[in-house]
Amino acid sequence: MPKNKKTIYNLNEIAEERKSAIRLLYRQLFRYKKAFLAIIFFAIIYATGEALLPKIIEYAVNTNITSRDYSGLIKTSLILAAAALIAVIAKYFQSLITGRVSAKVLFNLREDVFTKLQSLPIEFFAENQSGDIIQRITENVSAIDRFLSQGLMRGLDLVFTLSATFFFMYYTNWQIALLSTVGVILVLIFLLIQGRFLQKQTKKSLNIEGNMSSFVAESFASHEVIVTYNQEKTWQSLFQKTNDHYYQSRAKIAQISGLADSFISLLSTVVVLATIIFSLNLYSQGQILSGSIILFYSYAYTVFRKMNGVSNIWQNVQDGIAAAGRIQEVLQLKSNILEISQPYNPPINKIKGEVEFKNLSFAYPNGETVLENLNFKIAPGKTVAIVGPTGAGKTTFVNLIARLYDPQEGGVFVDGVNVKNWQLDKLRSQIGYLTQDTFLFEDTIINNLRYNNPRVSETEATQTLNALASPQFIKSLPQGLKTKLEADGQNLSAGQRQIIALARIVLRKPKILILDEATSKIDTKSEKMIQKAMEKSTRGVTSFIVAHRLSTIFNADHILLIRDKSIIESGSHQELIKLKGEYYEMYSRFVE
């Protein structure tokens, strides 16, 4: 058997490059190119308006006040007020458009991630923790929101305000402007060095947070087991360790960011003080007027007021890039269950339900061979029971029919067509699949029964439930079919949940039925009644039954005994009893 080429679905084994994360953000932003250009336009207007204010004040001091031109001062004051008003209006529109773009980007990202998750095979969900997956579609997307609304908007403010400010500073006096330029360059060098450590630590922190989310989700799901095994303190201790790892990680980020804040504060104090001293020196030499001292102090203060917030901006940028990396790790995945360009898509009334395994071999991605060289064919409308020891590959066998996995050799054929060539949704729409781990949605019973078949009437639903259980079943429910279920139907017994799930399958009217321990939580008496009802309601449906209780399979047309990767015995119940092989031994133990 050839080696199974492994597709990596474990997100912990994927290291998405920083460039890839930045490309994701770039693509999302430029889906709204016009809006993004409008944000830049208003950012430039705001920055220019803010930078003009000290220049207007300088003119008022040097020209209007010095010459006691009070009428001119009033005009200058009006210009100052107009510039300030324009800056405020520009800031408002910049914030408004940024908020809308951010909301749209978040909407698109969540939709893209959710759509991608829906397309991935069950292997992905088996290899990753649910809490970590949920965090990527919630908290990580929220980190991108902070990147857009705080990092991007404030970053644009910073760039354009500094550009406008330095333009006026150099225009007025290049020597004083050089002091602030040197200060800004030193800050940028420091931030670039700091960013290497910050980005690595931020990614680590997000991964720990994802693990913690998974831990909490698992503790909620297994709460009953934790309590009955008296393990509350153990889980509290484990959570404390995970929480401590997260705390240590965030503390390091705070330490790195705090160092930047301290450095920028110290540098800003030095540069502003040097600017004042140098300006006073030039004033004493008669090279500048008093208004220019105010101008340079205002500009130096503005530059480093903006730079004081740059560490927070940088942190939001690093958080956003790290979060985008984690989202991109999901988006770049491709399903190994692919559909051909022109798949087989027959009319429903032409689908018969014949199933055949031809020279089929299957191994899981870890390399473990489960089934080897299987050959078997079942005619439409017949019932096949599958038995064998735990871990023999019974569930894998039926999973291959629904194409939840693809075999490495051979194939599964439905109505003579390889399932790889079927239109996937058409194939699965004609397969009713029920396992012992039933899932019911947090909705009414009738809406659960209508899942994938919204045309089901209350009369049909009632008749089906009555056939599978008894009229007493519906009467025992608080509001009958309109009873609202809790998450996963936790306000019902396990047996009641299985009956509703069975009814949902029957109402779907599939051509192929797969029952994997589907009645394991129902008492023997009820199981016999359900068996009779199922035989009647699924007449003409090709059925596969995986069972440990032999009592559920005596009437099967065909029984397959799977062990050691192969079908070692095959035939009806009577034929296998006469064979006096392994099935006969299983039956003998059952009747004892």
* CA dihedral sign of residues 357, 359, 365, 366: positive
Is residue 194 in a domain? yes
Q: What SS3 string covers 466-506?
A: HHHCCHHHHHCCCCHHHCECCHHHCCCCHHHHHHHHHHHHH
Same domain, 295 and 396: no
Q: Please report how the helices 70-119 and 310-331 are oriented relative to each other, as an axis angle in degrees rounded to 10.
A: 20
Contacts 24+ apart (CB under 8 A), 234-243: 239/212, 239/215, 242/208, 242/211, 242/212, 242/215, 243/212
> pLDDT by residue (tens digit) across 465-478?
888 887 788 888 88
What is the rounded radius of gyration, in angstroms, for the C-alpha atoms of the chain?
35
> pLDDT by residue (tens digit) across 329-351?
888 888 888 889 899 999 988 99
Strand partners, 422: 344
* CA dihedral sign of residues 378, 381, 383, 386: positive
Nearest to 194 by CA among 247, 145, 258: 258
Q: Please, are residues 386 and 432 in contact by the beta-carbon 8 Å criterion?
A: no
End residue of a domain, out of 281, 299, 331: 331
The separation between CA 405 and the C-alpha centre of its own chain, rounded to angstroms, equals: 22
Consecutive H or E run containing 426: helix 424-429
Q: Please, are residues 128 and 117 in contact by the beta-carbon 8 Å criterion?
A: no
| Per-residue confidence (pLDDT) for residue 2, from 0 to 100 | 47
- Whether the per-residue pLDDT at 70 is higher than 90: the answer is no
Same domain, 406 and 484: yes
> pLDDT by residue (tens digit) across 287-336?
777 787 888 888 888 887 777 777 778 778 888 888 888 888 888 888 88
Region 369-375 average pLDDT = 91
- Whether the per-residue pLDDT at 8 is higher than 70: the answer is no
By three-state DSSP, how is residue 459 classified? helix
Same domain, 515 and 571: yes
Is residue 16 in a domain? no
Q: Report the range out of 12-26, 137-151, 222-236, 299-313 with the highest average pLDDT.
A: 137-151
- Whether the per-residue pLDDT at 207 is higher than 50: the answer is yes
Region 17-36 average pLDDT = 83
Burial of 581 (0-12, 13-18, 19+ CB in 10 A): middle
Q: How far is CA 340 from CA 146, 345, 420, 422, in A?
A: 41, 11, 8, 8
As for how many domains the chain has, the answer is 2
| Per-residue confidence (pLDDT) for residue 17, from 0 to 100 | 62
| Per-residue confidence (pLDDT) for residue 291, from 0 to 100 | 80
> pLDDT by residue (tens digit) across 483-531?
888 877 778 887 788 888 888 888 888 999 998 876 666 667 666 777 7
Q: Which domain holds residue 433?
A: 353-591
Nearest to 264 by CA among 298, 313, 297, 197: 313
Is residue 8 in a domain? no
Same domain, 531 and 403: yes
Strand partners, 432: 513
Strand partners, 433: 514
Q: What's the predicted TM-score (pTM) here? A: 0.76
Q: Please, are residues 461 and 510 in contact by the beta-carbon 8 Å criterion?
A: no
CATH code for the domain in which residue 522 is found: 3.40.50.300
The whole-angstrom separation of Cα 494 and Cα 440 is 11
The separation between CA 281 and the C-alpha centre of its own chain, rounded to angstroms, equals: 61
Going by pLDDT thresholds of 50, 70 and 90, the confidence category of residue 357 is very high
- Whether the per-residue pLDDT at 13 is higher than 80: the answer is no
Region 230-249 average pLDDT = 85
Q: Please, are residues 319 and 254 in contact by the beta-carbon 8 Å criterion?
A: no
End residue of a domain, out of 286, 301, 331: 331
CATH code for the domain in which residue 291 is found: 1.20.1560.10
- Whether the per-residue pLDDT at 375 is higher than 90: the answer is yes
Consecutive H or E run containing 195: helix 174-221
> pLDDT by residue (tens digit) across 162-197?
888 888 888 888 888 888 888 888 888 887 787 777
| Per-residue confidence (pLDDT) for residue 361, from 0 to 100 | 93
Is residue 336 in a domain? no
Region 390-419 average pLDDT = 91
Is residue 20 in a domain? no
Nearest to 435 by CA among 394, 406, 469, 407: 394
DSSP class of 344: B
Same domain, 211 and 86: yes
Strands 512-516 and 542-546: parallel
Nearest to 393 by CA among 362, 422, 420, 415: 362
Same domain, 312 and 437: no
Is residue 429 in a domain? yes
Same domain, 113 and 149: yes
Same domain, 98 and 137: yes
The whole-angstrom separation of Cα 85 and Cα 83 is 5
How crowded is residue 187: how many other Cβ atoms within 10 Å of its Cβ?
22
Q: Please report how the helices 290-308 and 310-331 are oriented relative to each other, as an axis angle in degrees rounded to 10.
A: 30
The whole-angstrom separation of Cα 73 and Cα 76 is 5
Same domain, 317 and 377: no
Q: How far is CA 302 from CA 10, 86, 163, 269, 337, in A?
A: 48, 18, 12, 12, 57
- Whether the per-residue pLDDT at 81 is higher than 90: the answer is yes
Same domain, 383 and 315: no
By three-state DSSP, how is residue 484 classified? strand
End residue of a domain, out of 280, 296, 331: 331
The whole-angstrom separation of Cα 557 and Cα 569 is 14
Consecutive H or E run containing 412: strand 409-414
Higher pLDDT, 216 or 411: 411
Q: Which amino acid belongs to residue 371? A: L
Nearest to 434 by CA among 381, 330, 347, 512: 512
| Per-residue confidence (pLDDT) for residue 16, from 0 to 100 | 58
Same domain, 41 and 110: yes
How crowded is residue 204: how many other Cβ atoms within 10 Å of its Cβ?
16
Q: What SS3 string covers 236-279?
A: HHHHHHHHHHHHHHHHHHHHHHHHHHHHHHHHHHHHHHHHHHHH
Is residue 6 in a domain? no
Nearest to 395 by CA among 434, 339, 338: 434
> pLDDT by residue (tens digit) across 281-290?
877 877 777 7
The whole-angstrom separation of Cα 492 and Cα 490 is 5
**What's the mean per-residue pLDDT of the chain?**
84
DSSP class of 152: I
Is residue 503 in a domain? yes
φ, ψ dihedrals at 361, nearest 5°: -130, 140
Same domain, 376 and 447: yes
Consecutive H or E run containing 361: strand 355-363
Q: Report the range out of 259-263, 386-390, 420-424, 536-540 with the highest average pLDDT.
A: 420-424
How crowded is residue 496: how many other Cβ atoms within 10 Å of its Cβ?
21
